[in-house]
């Protein structure tokens, strides 16, 4: 088993920097949960029920961007359902999702800006969810986005900036350390 120090060179130094400079401490921006079924059928309605049951928020159907004849998908057809969680709801969902995957994430799941994505094979692995034969079993993708305080300058209406400097972006190592400290996730 590899320790967090195998992936993060100086975790104590990073934690010390976060204490001295609160604007450098990353935070959870959002968690996106997606279930793709591939067609606008009864399975899509079931997927929407599952997401609403697990997250407590109403999901949004997602449309196909282009036609794929081999899969029988037409452009503009609803093929997936997704929900975006922020704040306390995101934290509560992540606790359940990490329990479903055994509090382990692959290092290759992190991108260079610290965002991470993982999959849950069956929604019934999430604690507190029971199997319903009428709905079926669905897998889902979970994407976590991190940012530092100050990212609002990209989204605000007045005096918007075109980009955030690379030094203010969350790094891969910082995201790993954040998940390890906040949720007890082990990086493998």
Domains belonging to the chain, first-starting first, are: 4-30+85-187 (3.30.1440.10)
Q: Is residue 31 a contact partner of residue 141, using CB atoms and an 8 Å limit?
A: no
Q: What is the pLDDT of residues 28-58, one digit of tens each?
A: 999 999 998 877 778 888 989 999 999 999 9
pLDDT at 2 (0 to 100): 61
pLDDT at 174 (0 to 100): 93
Q: Is residue 80 a contact partner of residue 35, using CB atoms and an 8 Å limit?
A: yes
Question: What are the backbone angles phi and psi of residue 59, rounded to the nearest 5°?
Answer: -80, 165
Q: Tell me the whole-structure pTM to 2 decimals.
A: 0.89
Q: What is the pLDDT of residues 56-71, one digit of tens each?
A: 999 999 888 888 888 7
pLDDT at 88 (0 to 100): 95
* Regions of the chain short of the pLDDT cut 70: 1-3
Torsion of CA 157, 162, 165, 169, to 10 degrees: 60
End-to-end Cα, the chain, rounded Å? 7
Structure tokens, 65: 């961007």
Q: Where are the alpha helices (DSSP H) in the chain?
A: 11-20, 42-55, 87-100, 152-155, 172-183
92-109 burial code (b ≥16 CB/10 A, e <16): ebbebbbebbeeebeeeb
């Amino acid at each position: 088993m590899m320790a967090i120090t195998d992936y993060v060179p100086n975790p104590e130094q990073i934690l010390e920097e976060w204490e001295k400079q609160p604007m450098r401490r990353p935070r959870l921006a959002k968690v996106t949960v997606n279930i793709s079924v591939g067609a606008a059928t009864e399975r899509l309605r079931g997927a929407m029920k599952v997401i609403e049951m697990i997250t407590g928020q109403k999901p949004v159907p997602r449309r196909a961007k282009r036609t794929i004849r081999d899969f029988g998908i037409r452009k503009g057809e609803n093929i997936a359902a997704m929900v975006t969680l922020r704040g306390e709801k995101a934290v509560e969902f992540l606790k359940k999702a990490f329990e479903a995957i055994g509090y382990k994430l692959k290092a290759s799941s992190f991108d260079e800006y610290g965002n991470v994505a993982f999959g849950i094979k069956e929604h019934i692995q999430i604690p507190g969810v029971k199997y319903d034969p009428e709905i079926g079993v669905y897998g889902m993708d979970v994407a976590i986005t991190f940012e530092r305080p100050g990212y609002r300058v990209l989204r605000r209406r007045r005096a918007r900036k075109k980009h955030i400097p690379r030094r203010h972006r969350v790094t891969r190592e910082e995201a790993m350390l954040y998940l390890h400290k906040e949720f007890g996730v082990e990086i493998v």
